[in-house]
Structure 1
C-alpha cells in the first residue's frame, strides 16, 4: 500500500484524455490521489488507469459495481489486476454480493481497498423515496453502513453529513470516503449534502473526494494546497 498521507482524492471527471492529463500534470502524487469514474473509464479503458498509476498516483477506481455476486467478484478481481489503490461496489447489492467481492480480493497477496457506496450524495429525501427507500437519507446510510461493515468491507462511501453518526457506530478503523466536500467559497454544483473539508474531517471522514474546486481552479495545485492545509489545521 502507498505511504501517501494525503486525505484528498481528486475526481478526474473530464470528457477526454487530453484535458485529464493536462490537469494531472499540474498535480503532485504525494499530495493527493486520483479518482477515475465511469465516464473516463468507459472512454479510455484500463490503459488510462495504468498510465496514471505509472505517474505515481494512487487510483480510486469509482465504477460502483452492482450485479450478481460472482460477476461483481470477478469484476473486482479484474480491477485489482490494474493495481488500483481502492475500488467500490454498491452496498444495495446486498450481503452475498459484498462478501463474494471481499472474499475474492482476500486471496491476493496485495489487495486494493474495497468500499461500498451507501446513498449517493446527489440524492435528497424526495429522490430516495421515489425509488422505495423510506425515511431520511441518513437513516438509510446508517443501515447500509452497518451491513457493509458486517459484510467485510473496508469502508463506505457516504456524505460527510452522515460521517459523524457512522463513525460513532463503526469505530476508527472503518474508512469513510466522502464526496460532497466543498470549500466555503465553492459552489455546491450537483451535490445536495455538502460540507467543508475541515468540517468533514472533524466529522470523521477518512478521505475526501474533491472535483471541481480543484479541477476547475485557475491554479489546481494551489487549490489542492489550500485544501490540504485546511485539513492539516484540524488534524
Structure 2
C-alpha cells in the first residue's frame, strides 16, 4: 500500500500502521518516561534542597543561639557590674555617712564634755570668789554643786575636780554649824561621795601600762580621801 505506513505481520495478517500513530505512541512513551525522570529529579533535588536548607537552618540556629547566649551573658555581666558598682557606691556612701556621723558624734561629745567641764569650773570659781568675800556657807554649797556635776557627768578627767571639791568640803564643813539643814546636807553629800567612789572604781585606765599605773595610784588616793570625808561627815550627823 503506497502510503506513509508501516506493514506489520501480525498472526499472518498484514497491518498498516501510520507513521503518525507510531510517532504518537513513541511521544507518549517518551513523555511519561521523561515526566517520571523529571519528577524523580525534582523530588531528589527538593529533598537535597530540604537537606541543605535544614543544615542551613541548623547553622543559623546555632549561630543565633550562641549570639543569644553571648548577649544574655553580656546582659547578666552588665547587670552584675551595675549591681556591684551600685553596691560598692552604696557601701562607700554608707561608710562616708557613718564616718561623718562618727565624727559629728565625737565633736558633739567633746562639745558636751567641754560644757560640763565649764559648769564644774564655774562652781569652783564661784566657791573661791565666795571665800574671798567670806561667804563660807555659799562657798561650801558651791563645792557641793561641783561634786554633783562631777558625779552626774563623770569623765576620768573630771576626777581632779572631784578631789578638789572633797578637800574643800572637808575643810569648810564648819560653815554648816548652826544650819537646821546640816544633817540633810551631809547625808546628801555622803550619797554623792558613794556614787563618786563607784565611778572611780569603774574608770578605765590608759592602755599604756606606765600611764595606767599613774592613773591607778591617783584614783586610789582619791578613794582614800572619799573614805575619810565620808567617815567624818557620818560622825557629824
- Normalising by structure 1, we get a TM-score of 0.24
Which structure has the highest strand share of the two?
1
Which has the bigger relative contact order, CA under 8 A and spacing at least 6? 1
- Normalising by structure 2, we get a TM-score of 0.24
**Bigger CA radius of gyration:** 2
